[in-house]
Amino acid sequence: MSKPRVAIFDFACCEGCQLQIVNLEEELLDLISAVNPVEWREAMSDQSDEYDIAIVEGSITRPEDEERLKEIRTHANVLVALGACATTGGVNKLKNRFDISDVKHCVYGDAADMAHLDTALTKSLDEVVKVDYKVHGCPINNKEFAYIVRCLLMGKKPVIPTYPVCVECKMQGNPCRYEFGEICLGPITRAGCEAKCPSGGFWCFGCRGYVDNPNVNAAKAIMTQYGKTIADLRGRMLLFGSKQEYTP
């Protein structure tokens, strides 16, 4: 039985999620031994139009990117979105909130007129093509990535948490970040990161996207309890939740 052919692609991103794959080190060797890598720009020079699984990092920012992604989708039996930029549009989606000329001047200053930024809206992969599985986070949890790949190789559907980060915070024994006067997105953000940010003394940034069916009433109650407002919460949500559908 032939090994599944796997190709890894990237669009607009920092490629930090691919670096997390490399950081699997010895476990990566085990994964590679079970597949046939046919394209991965960060790790090999070979290219191929023949693959079974496409793993795609990055958001879609240009019309030509949309066409390339659609082409990738036609060749892949399974398409996996890798990281926040691919799953939700990530930080890149902040561009959608501003006039493109303002963005150019903010980023390039006096050289703004020389910048060729496309006016197209930044999109997540599933706003362009069908996505079969998502590996959430910025960067991804490489243990979760390995788990999802192993499930695919065994023909099983990976189970991704549908509960909020607050659950993992309690499991870790972390004090609530609201107790420190902060606004944390843990109550509405999908778990699976092992509450890395709160465990490190930071509020949850929401990089894994919103949990399915978030407890809106609980979020409102927390805001009220700690003297915060919905506007405060929305301000925090913009970093990774820009233009996502959510109404607290």
> Alpha-carbon distance 152 to 132, whole Å?
11
Strand ranges in 49-182 using DSSP code E only, listed in sequence order: 53-57, 78-82, 133-135
Strand order in the sheet with 5-10: 36-40, 5-10, 53-57, 78-82, 133-135
* pLDDT tier for residue 231 given thresholds of 50, 70 and 90: confident
User: Which residues, in sequence order, are CB contacts of 216 under 8 Å at separation 6+?
Assistant: 247, 248
Determine the length of the chain.
248
Q: What is the pLDDT of residues 190-220, one digit of tens each?
A: 999 999 999 999 999 999 999 988 888 888 8
Domains belonging to the chain, first-starting first, are: 5-153 (3.40.50.700), 165-241 (no CATH)
Q: Are 20 and 74 in contact (CB under 8 A)?
A: no
Q: What is the pLDDT of residues 7-22, one digit of tens each?
A: 999 999 999 999 999 9
Of 3-12, 178-187, 213-222, minimum mean pLDDT range? 213-222
Q: Can you give the pLDDT at residue 246?
A: 41
> Alpha-carbon distance 218 to 59, whole Å?
31
Residue among 169, 210, 164 at smallest CA distance from 191? 164
Q: How many CB atoms lie within 10 A of CB 101?
A: 13
Of 2-11, 79-88, 188-197, 214-223, minimum mean pLDDT range? 214-223
